[in-house]
A and B are shown apart, each in its own frame.
Chain A
Amino acid sequence: MVAYWRQAGLSYIRFSAICASAVRAALKPQFKVEAMKVAESSVKVYVPKAIA
């Protein structure tokens, strides 16, 4: 049985990321601040523009 998200082309990593953000969004306010700080991505993606 293939999972519906696998069939749509999503990986488990993406599934996990969406579930994690859903859980973080459902935290009580006093815990949410801490979790959001941790969840912030410290990786900035820079795609250089191709030269002509």
Chain B
Amino acid sequence: MRAAGFLRRSLSVLRQARCYADAPSGSGQMSFTFASPTQVYFKETSVKQVDVPTLTGAFGILPAHVPTLQVLRPGVVTVFNDDGSATKFFVSSGSITVNADSSVQLLAEEAFPLDQLDVAAAKANLEKAQSEMASASDEAVRAEVQINIDANEAIVKALE
């Protein structure tokens, strides 16, 4: 008898719809700002997607991406514009902010279009850094040389 009464009372609760997440609101637009200290590449421009290289891995950002703060590593940023074209830049380092309203701010320490970089110069710097590694004694010096090697490897990889 008591079980039936309990069931009757709980039925009204069960009839309510249960949601675990809210549907994302917003217009499906992404406002993108991308700048280095010397050059502004995008200023609150609407774009479809941005691929970024972060310290924790590379990921693509679409409208309604979960808000996040990340730091960048040397790598290629690809911007997919609303008209379908894609532009690539090489960034050295910096930060990326994705806000709740889907606006994205990418502030780079140095950022250049890929065609401004010289693969031969990057390869030469890479070899020089690798030979420096052999003579590095201190752990801090070794880490600094390794950062240089990683950055040049990323440039070579981006240009090939």
> Could you tell me which A residues sit within 8 Å of B by CB distance?
3-5, 7-10, 12, 14-20, 22-29, 31, 35, 38
Q: For the complex, give the distance between the alpha carbons of A28 and B92 in Å.
A: 16
Please name 5 pairs of A and B residues whose Cβ atoms are closer than 8 Å in the assembled complex, sorted by A: A16-B94, A19-B73, A20-B92, A20-B93, A22-B147
Q: Is the CB of A22 within 8 A of B109?
A: no
- Residues from chain A with a CB closer than 8 A to the CB of B55 are 3
The answer to whether B155 has its CB under 8 Å from any CB of chain A is: yes
- Residues from chain B with a CB closer than 8 A to the CB of A15 are 93, 147
The answer to whether B40 has its CB under 8 Å from any CB of chain A is: no
Q: How large is the interface on B (under 10, 10 to 19, 20 to 34, 35 or more residues)?
A: 20 to 34
The answer to whether B121 has its CB under 8 Å from any CB of chain A is: yes
* Known contacts A4-B143, A19-B147, A20-B92; is-contact A26 B118 (Cβ 8 Å): yes
* New A-B pairs, 8, CB < 8 Å, besides A26-B118, A27-B116: A4-B143, A8-B142, A12-B93, A14-B144, A15-B93, A22-B151, A22-B155, A35-B38
Q: Is the CB of A25 within 8 A of B125?
A: yes
